[in-house]
Structure 1
């Protein structure tokens, strides 16, 4: 009997110490479909975008700049994924999306929404000194196996308005806090059009954890994420980020992916990839 009880205790202890499965996240600015970009036009590189995403197989990835037909192509080619999102111009299908793709075999969508980065976030609007509509799309996912829930916010900051970028960072953090009374882990990703030393990124790095800072020695890839389609030059400008709510995750790997095909990048941004244990 003592031996039997001992074995039960061992099995129980093993079950309690079983490691959580890491989850893989990616943010990727696709570059909008501009047919005048020659060899870098969408039709010439879209299959390379799909191949890159399939190679790294993130559980969840966010895109920026994708137009509806670009996302429809990804959705049809990447059959393991579904996505949520709306066009920023009309809240439906017009304009660029900040879409979030996820694996429906692994997750259920509990909640989803989009807001505009402006003084009137529930309305289609241009905020502060921005020159274009800017949005943030988010969703609450539930792991079908474990029941674990977490939020993913995906955004694209304005490329001109400094006030807009600073206020957008504060607005997004307030939305994270407001939408999450249960304090589920939260991932914020996107193209912030800002380098690490800027005020808005410093603010977000204070209220959230920037995943590169948690990765220790497990950092791969170039320093920057914006390549401007210049395949032979160093990539030094880092403007794409993945953040996580403070104290909510262990980052096993951080990578800026600089894969090329025939000396060309699939987009003018490099995707940022992280592996996180909540």
Structure 2
């Protein structure tokens, strides 16, 4: 009987954790995994919510989705879902500073897209990387702009505003393994702008990460069939994390949330087939990453959404 129990224990352990074959090693195997998140949190708009009226650039909202209502839900989401590292987009200076409330458990960094405006507390769309301090150590960090002059603050490829990519080199305190994490937000207007931005991102990742494991997360503002995604699909080292997930994907097959604003039939030049529901928030990985779970979290709590994008979360490990 004892022999049967032992055999069953080994079998269960092997099923739960392919990297080991004993029950006592399952915990060790699970500790190599961590949770990655891609999350466009939407810029802070006064009285934000469903659009009641639009006249030119002036928009009237219903006040149901303000940052003050969303921010506590977002922070609770990160804690409850046990997110270890998260790439965010579209945050204004006051939204970024709200994440000080999560210290010391979490910390963050990221160069503003327009540093001078940020210093003057002028609203803008910024990308920051939030990470769990108990899990990761930042070894190095940097940035580049999506432009012809990526080393300096600049508009690029026809975009009317600067967009950048922030990155960090991290060390996992539990395993000692190191990886790079890139976080970006490609401009939403201009097909050539998007295509050239994608090409630059690939080039810079090769330069910065080399052969090291890496993650690339961001709002690419492009659906899978947009021609600007071709450089990524044709690359020999960036992999769509969905395609290699070891379990069934969870959630809707799109990441933009038009239930937030009420615009369900909006036309947007992100795909050859004009569709309101698109997958535009991406997580790409190197081949040295294992993906165990992948989910799009379309949660609405007491009538309040996290954002007009759904957060994407993955459970992963570095090989």
Fold conserved between structures, TM > 0.5: yes
The question of whether the paired residues in 1 share the 8 Å contact of 2:256 and 2:277 is answered with: yes
Partners in 1 of 2:262 and 2:293 — Cα distance? 24
The question of whether the paired residues in 2 share the 8 Å contact of 1:88 and 1:96 is answered with: yes
Q: Does residue 1:194 correspond to 2:194, yes or no?
A: no
Q: Of residues 236, 246, 255 in structure 1, which corresponds to 2:277?
A: 236
Greater Cα shift, 199-208 or 142-151: 199-208
Q: Does residue 1:55 correspond to 2:80, yes or no?
A: yes
- Please list the CA deviations of residues 103-146 of structure 1 after superposition, one character each: whole Å capped at 9, or x if unmatched: 11111111101111000001111001212110100000011232
| TM-score between both structures, scaled by the size of structure 2 | 0.77
Q: Of residues 251, 254, 277 in structure 2, which corresponds to 1:224?
A: 254
The secondary structure found in structure 2 opposite 1:219 is coil
The question of whether the paired residues in 2 share the 8 Å contact of 1:156 and 1:191 is answered with: yes
The question of whether the paired residues in 2 share the 8 Å contact of 1:115 and 1:137 is answered with: yes
Q: 1:110-129 residue pairs with structure 2 within 5 A?
A: 110-129=139-158
- Please list the CA deviations of residues 145-189 of structure 1 after superposition, one character each: whole Å capped at 9, or x if unmatched: 3210000000000000211111111111111111123x1110000
Question: What's 1:141 paired with?
Answer: 170
Partners in 2 of 1:156 and 1:23 — Cα distance? 23
Q: Does residue 1:261 correspond to 2:301, yes or no?
A: yes
Greater Cα shift, 87-96 or 172-181: 87-96
| Pairwise CA distance, 1:263 | 2.8
Greater Cα shift, 130-139 or 205-214: 205-214
Change (3 A) 1:244 1:91: farther
The secondary structure found in structure 1 opposite 2:305 is coil
Question: What's 1:169 paired with?
Answer: 198
Give the unaligned 5+ runs of structure 1: 1-11
Q: Of residues 52, 64, 69 in structure 2, which corresponds to 1:44?
A: 69
Give the unaligned 5+ runs of structure 2: 1-19, 49-62, 266-275
Partners in 2 of 1:13 and 1:240 — Cα distance? 36
Q: Of residues 28, 31, 36 in structure 1, which corresponds to 2:42?
A: 31
- Please list the CA deviations of residues 34-91 of structure 1 after superposition, one character each: whole Å capped at 9, or x if unmatched: 1142222212221111122222121100100011221111231364211110211127
Coordinate RMSD, CA, aligned: 2.5
Question: What's 1:249 paired with?
Answer: 289
